[in-house]
Amino acid sequence: MKDAKVIELEEVTIRFSGDSGDGMQLTGSLFSDTTALFGNDISTFPDYPSEIRAPQGTVGGVSGFQVQFGKKKITTPGDYAHVLIAMNPAAVKANAKFMNPGGTIIYDVDAFTEKNLQKALFKTNDPFAECNLDDYFKIPVPITSLTKESLKEFELDNKSVLRSKNMFALGLVCWMFDRSLDYIESFINKKFAKKPLVVASNLKVLRDGYNYGMNMQHMTPQYIVHPAPIEKGTYRNINGNHATAWGLIAAAEKAGLPLFIGSYPITPATDILQALAERKDLGVKSFQAEDEIAGICTSIGAAFAGNLAVTSTSGPGFALKSEALGLSVMAELPLVVVNVQRGGPSTGLPTKTEQSDLLQTLYGRNGESPVVVLAASTPSDCFYYAFFAAKIALERMVPVVLLTDGFLGNGSEPWRVPSMSELPTITPRFATDPATFKAYKRDEETLSREWAIPGMAGFQHRIGGLEKNIDGNVSHDPENHQKNSEYRAAKVEKVVDMLPELEVCGEPEGDLLVVGWGGTFGHLVSAVREMHNEGKKVSLAHFNYIKPLPKNTADVFSKFRKIVVCELNMGQFASYLRDKVPGHTYHQVNKLKGLPFTVIELKQNFYKLLED
C-alpha cells in the first residue's frame, strides 16, 4: 500500500453538506470545536434551509456547515471550500458554486441513486459533469453501507443506523486533517450518558470512519494545518448568540443587578433566550412570552423594577416591538434590545443573513423616538458589544439596540475568556436624594434622568407613555413637549462621549476608503489587507457605533479620494451617511442573497473603483 499523500496548508476550508436530517450542523460544530482545541484559529458559517423539513433529497432541503481554519488569523469562513463532504446529490448541486478550483469532494456513493438524482433535478446520471466538477478530486465512499456494516451487531432499527452516517463522515474527516477524536468522544459520552446504546453505536461508527481513512490512504489525501500562535489565556469556541448572552450576564454582574430577559422565540435569535434561560444559577430571570409585544413589555416592566432588562428578536419581531420601544424612549428606562437580523421583508429568509433592519432600527417608530444603536462585527465581539450596550443603557437611562445578524449569531470563532477585572465598571444612575428627586430632572452633562425603583422610600413618581413634565405629571404643554423631544435626542447624541474614535485599518489616507458596519467586518478586512499587500492604497473604516457616529467620522472620510460603503442590503447605511456626513460621494457595494460577501467579489468591485 502506498503512503498517504500529505498536503501541508496554511489555511483550509471544509464544507459539510447533506439533507437537513443528516446531522451536518452537529458534524461541523464538533469538527470546529476539535480544531479550535487543536490550536487553529477558525471561523464558521452554518447554512440552514429555510424550511423546517423540506422534501428529503431536494436542493431546498440541503443543510450546510462551512469552517475555515488555519495557522494564522482567520477572519472569514472562506469564500470557497477546499473539501466538500456531500451526503447526497442535492448537496453537490447546492454547493458546486462554492468549491475551490481543484478541490476535493468526498461523497456518499450509496446515496447517488437514480431516484436521488431525480429529486435533485439532475438531467443525467453524471451530476459532477452537469455541475462542471470534472476536474475536481472526487472520493466515492460508501458511507451508508459502511455505517450499516459497522452497526450490524447492534440492535438498532434502520432509521437509527442511518442517523449515524454523519459520525462516519466525521471520523473520516478527522483522519484527513489529523484531528484527535478525544473531544468528540467526550461529547458523545456526555450528551447521551443515559442512552448507552446510542453512545456505543456512535463511538463505533466514528472510529470506523477514522480507521477507514487510515486503510484507504492510497486514495484519501491527508492535510496538515499547524496550530496558530495565539495570546495566552483560556479559550473556547463560541457563536455570536451565546457570546451575546454571556456579555449580558457579565454586565449584570458588573452592575450588581439581576438580569431579566422577556422574549419570544424567533429564528435566528432564539439561542440567546435559551442560553440565558439555562443560567438561573447566575440569577438570570427568563420569560418566554406569548408574543413579541409581551416580550418587550415584560422587559420594560423589569427595567422599571430595577433589573438589567433585555429582549431579543429578529426583524419581524423587532417591527412588532416598535410601539413598546417608543414607550421605553418616552419613559427613559434602560433597556437593551438585541436584533439578530435575517432576510426580509415579512417572513423573508428566516435562516439566512442580511443587514436590512438598520433603517427600521433608526427610524421605525412613531414620533421623534431616538435610541442608541450599536452593531457587533464578529461572533466573539458580540460579548463586548452586548456588555457595552448594557453599560450605555444603565448609565445614560436610554434604550439601546444591538444589531447582530444570522451570520454572526450562528457563526463561531475562538474567544479568549476575559476575567471580570478586565471589563469596565458599570454604574447605574440610581437616585440617591429624595429631597431633590424629580422624575425627569436631568443631569446637566449627560441629560440623563435618575433611576428610582419602586419601594425606595421618598422616591414615589410616575412615568409612562404620555408626555410628562419634570415632576412626572402628564403635560400637554406644547413648549414642554418641544423641550423634552430635544432633550431625548440630545441625550442620545451625548453618548458619543462614551465611544472610542473611529479607527482605520490601513493607512489613514489613500485612494479608497472601504466603509462597512456589523457582520461584514471579516470579509472586508480580508479584502482590504490583500489589496494593501498588492500595493493598493485601500483602507477600511468599520462601524460598530451607528447612532451616534464616532466624533471623528467626518475627519476620517475627508482623507480619502473615494469612499465605498459595503453592506448586505440595498444601501441603508450609505443613505444614513449621506444625511449625517454630507459632502462626499458614497459609492456602494450591495448584496442581498442571504449570504455573506466573498473576498473575491469585494476585491473585484474595489479594483473597478480604483480604475475609474
Structure confidence by residue, pLDDT tens digits, 338-365 = 999 999 999 999 999 999 999 999 999 9
| Single residue among 422, 438, 453 that ends a domain in this structure | 422
Contact (Cβ atoms closer than 8 angstroms) between residue 162 and residue 147: yes
Contact (Cβ atoms closer than 8 angstroms) between residue 542 and residue 505: yes
The distance from CA 286 to its chain's CA centroid, rounded to whole angstroms, is: 21
Residue-wise pLDDT for 582-593, tens only, equals 999 999 999 999
Shared domain for 199 and 281, answered yes or no, is: no
* Lowest-confidence pick of 49-53, 362-366, 572-576: 49-53
Give the total number of structural domains in the chain.
3
pLDDT at position 542 is 98
Shared domain for 168 and 290, answered yes or no, is: no
pLDDT at position 245 is 98
Residue 333 has pLDDT above 60, yes or no: yes
Residue-wise pLDDT for 295-314, tens only, equals 999 999 999 999 999 999 99
Shared domain for 246 and 379, answered yes or no, is: yes
Residue-wise pLDDT for 196-248, tens only, equals 999 999 999 999 999 998 887 546 666 778 787 777 888 888 999 999 999 99
pLDDT at position 1 is 38
Q: Is the residue at 486 inside a domain?
A: no
Shared domain for 183 and 272, answered yes or no, is: no
Residue 2 has pLDDT above 50, yes or no: no
Q: Is the residue at 489 inside a domain?
A: no
Give the whole-angstrom CA distance, residue 91 versus residue 61. 9
**Which string of b and e fits 594-605 if b means at least 16 CB within 10 Å?**
bbbbbbeebbeb
Q: Is the residue at 439 inside a domain?
A: no
Shared domain for 298 and 374, answered yes or no, is: yes
Residue 6 has pLDDT above 70, yes or no: no
Mean pLDDT for all residues in the chain: 94
Write out the residue range of the structural domain in which residue 28 sits.
Answer: 6-224
Shared domain for 213 and 299, answered yes or no, is: no
The distance from CA 324 to its chain's CA centroid, rounded to whole angstroms, is: 25
Q: Is the residue at 354 inside a domain?
A: yes
Give the whole-angstrom CA distance, residue 243 versus residue 413. 10
Q: Is the residue at 524 inside a domain?
A: yes
Residue-wise pLDDT for 121-164, tens only, equals 999 999 999 999 988 989 999 999 999 999 999 988 998 999 99
Q: Is the residue at 45 inside a domain?
A: yes
Q: Structure pTM?
A: 0.91
Contact (Cβ atoms closer than 8 angstroms) between residue 141 and residue 108: yes
Q: At a CB cut-off of 8 Å and minimum separation 6, what does 97 contact? A: none
Shared domain for 403 and 263, answered yes or no, is: yes
Give the whole-angstrom CA distance, residue 397 versus residue 169. 52
Q: At a CB cut-off of 8 Å and minimum separation 6, what does 559 contact? A: 508, 509, 510, 513
Q: At a CB cut-off of 8 Å and minimum separation 6, what does 612 contact? A: none
